[in-house]
Amino acid sequence: MNKVRVLQASTFNQALRGVLDASVDIVSRLPLPDLKERVANLTSGMFDFDGTLTTGSQWEAISSLLPDDLRRRDEDVRFWYWNHRFDEDVPDTTMDDPDWFIEHMLEPNRLVVDGGWAAQTIMLYEKAEISREQIRKAMRTLPMRTGAFLLLRQFDHRVVISFGMEQPIQIWLRAHQINSPVAATRLIFNDDECVAGFHPNIVASSTKGLAAQRFRTITGVRNADCLVVGDSMADISMMHDDSFNVLIIPPSEMDKKLSSFREGNLGAMWNNITMILCSDSLMPLANLIVSVRKGIPWPDRSSV
């Protein structure tokens, strides 16, 4: 088992310096003895999907099945959504501008926009008559992030919570011999096994925290004993103040991730994060859990 290189940082700025240190696997907000104690008590896990368990995107994989005209529409909507996801400054405009309202994503309307974007995309899948078999083949092209299988195996109680689609994620999990409940938007298929709509109870970025709380309530797991793993600001809502919260910042995506975290004001949420995983692999996190449970020592590093 490879040794896990852990660094403790007490402030967000120290953590950012640690993230940029190529010799570190994990930047912990907690002192190392406290980190080990927390890890030893973990009994359940909640995981994001896109960018976390897989390095790919289910939306991009399935949207690749669209004909050219529908794919362009899908790309336009996706570009607008992600370009406005963390809008802070309200643009100057006048009431003569037909886009005076719709061209800015106001914070209270973000939940509605999340659902609207997902609905728009799935309606394109319906229009293209994408079949379950096509989805199955597309999902099997998504690579598993290294270490994901070992990490998932550490927990009897686990759940995948995604701003995505339930059946495609289940297809991917089963292809990797993983059994796990999924909270994601449920597709509806017609008699020809083609996409025909979706269940109205959409799981979106803004509602992932509700799914996380439902998991805690049903399983009875204590917040402190629950591992939560995600790779974006959208996953912060799953992270209860007391849970063991892990944010992935892969070195291969460093610039993109740090830019989006700055836009989403990650610094203000630093106290919600237990540790940052500075790796393209989930193996350091999985090895950390295994080593603590087996009593295998790992080297301490001084603070940044």
Mean pLDDT split into 10-residue runs, the chain, 304 residues: 77 79 84 92 97 96 97 92 72 86 80 90 98 97 96 95 97 96 98 97 90 95 96 86 92 68 62 88 94 76 42
pTM over 0.85: yes
Distance CA 207, CA 190 (A): 27
Residue 299 lies in a domain: no
pLDDT number for residue 93 = 86
Could you say which of 131, 155, 171 is where a domain stops? 131
Looking at the structure, do residues 69 and 213 belong to the same domain, yes or no? no
CA neighbor of 66 nearest in space, from 78, 55, 54, 56: 78
Identify the domain containing residue 89 by its residue range: 58-131
Looking at the structure, do residues 185 and 251 belong to the same domain, yes or no? yes
Distance CA 139, CA 91 (A): 39
pLDDT number for residue 257 = 61
The amino acid at residue 3 is K
pLDDT number for residue 303 = 38
Tell me, rounded to whole angstroms, the distance of Cα 117 from its chain centroid.
17
Tell me, rounded to whole angstroms, the distance of Cα 66 from its chain centroid.
24
Structurally, the chain folds into a number of domains equal to 2
Looking at the structure, do residues 154 and 38 belong to the same domain, yes or no? yes
> What is the residue whose two structure tokens read 């002192």?
31
- Residue 15: left if φ>0, alpha if ψ -120 to 50, beta else—which one? alpha
pLDDT number for residue 302 = 43
Looking at the structure, do residues 176 and 39 belong to the same domain, yes or no? yes
Looking at the structure, do residues 49 and 65 belong to the same domain, yes or no? no
Q: How many CB atoms lie within 10 A of CB 190?
A: 12
CA neighbor of 238 nearest in space, from 46, 60, 75: 46
Residue 31 lies in a domain: yes
Residue 207 lies in a domain: yes
Looking at the structure, do residues 107 and 188 belong to the same domain, yes or no? no
pLDDT number for residue 4 = 77
Domain with 33 in it: what CATH number? 3.40.50.1000
Residue 183 lies in a domain: yes
pLDDT number for residue 262 = 56
